[in-house]
Every structure is written in structure tokens, then in C-alpha cells.
Amino acid sequence: MPKIEKILEVVRGWVTKAENDLKTAALTLKGGKDAPTDTVCFHAQQCIEKYLKALLTLKNIDFPKTHDIEKLLDLLPANIDLPLSIKQQRQLTGYATAARYPGDYEEISTAEAQQALRIARRIRKEIRSLLGESLKKPGKSA
């Protein structure tokens, strides 16, 4: 398999996993006031992380095994500017680390979980536009 085809296969793999995380976050949030907001936020963060890793893979940029959104964004070329404030980056990273385990963190409100899902959808849209043709399966036409 030529190198570019292997890269595109890996990109599509990251996208598939990111999409599953987005679906999980959205479906979980439909639980209303009983929805586990930490789970919603974790999967929203995972969606963003995996989309970033798909983009880095497409750009042939090595990245460490990390959940740190800020570190992943710092690896992107200077001409790619995704709309995430430092505060949002750090908060999202916290969902993948501190909020994932029992410990000393504040309860996550439903409003905060809804915001995390909105951010994930926005970043998904931005990155999918950057991924463009690489999302198409081999042999498929538009």
C-alpha cells in the first residue's frame, strides 16, 4: 500500500473514532438532568483530540501520546488557527484527565456539558473542512 494511502487510512480511522465520541456525548446528554455530565465532557474532549490527531496525521506531523489539547494545537502549522481559547483548551484537557477519575473537581453542570458538546461540533466542522478529500473512502466519488 503506497504511503499516502496508508496515511489516509489512519486519518479516516481517527475520524471514525472521533465521530463515535461525538455521538456518545450527544446521546448521553439526551438523558437530561440525569445525564452524567462528566461522561459528556470526556467524549466531547475525545472528539476534539481525535480530530486534531487526524489533522496532524494528514499533515505528516508526529505527535505524542497525550490528551492535552493545547499541546496538540501547538503542533499545527502556523496557518491553521482553530477557534479555541487557552481557557477552553485547558478546560477540555481537564475533562480527559481530572474529571475522568474520582477526585477533587467541581461538579460539571448540564450547561457546561452542553457547551463542551457545542465546542466539539464546531471544531469537528472546522477540521473536517481542512481534511477535505481525505475523508472520502477509496473508490468512492462525490
Per residue in 106-128, pLDDT tens?
A: 789 999 999 999 999 999 999 99
Measured in degrees and rounded to the nearest 5, phi and psi for residue 80 equal -105, 115
What ranges make up the beta strands (E) of 12-131?
A: none
The Cα 54–Cα 134 span in angstroms is 10
Measured in degrees and rounded to the nearest 5, phi and psi for residue 61 equal -110, 120
Per residue in 41-59, pLDDT tens?
A: 999 999 999 999 999 999 9
pLDDT exceeds cutoff 60 at 67: yes
Query: Model pTM?
Result: 0.91
pLDDT in the model for residue 142 = 46
pLDDT exceeds cutoff 80 at 99: no
Per residue in 124-135, pLDDT tens?
A: 999 999 998 877
5 CB-side CA count, 13 A: 5
pLDDT in the model for residue 102 = 75
pLDDT in the model for residue 25 = 97
The Cα 111–Cα 139 span in angstroms is 42
For residues 16-25, average pLDDT: 98
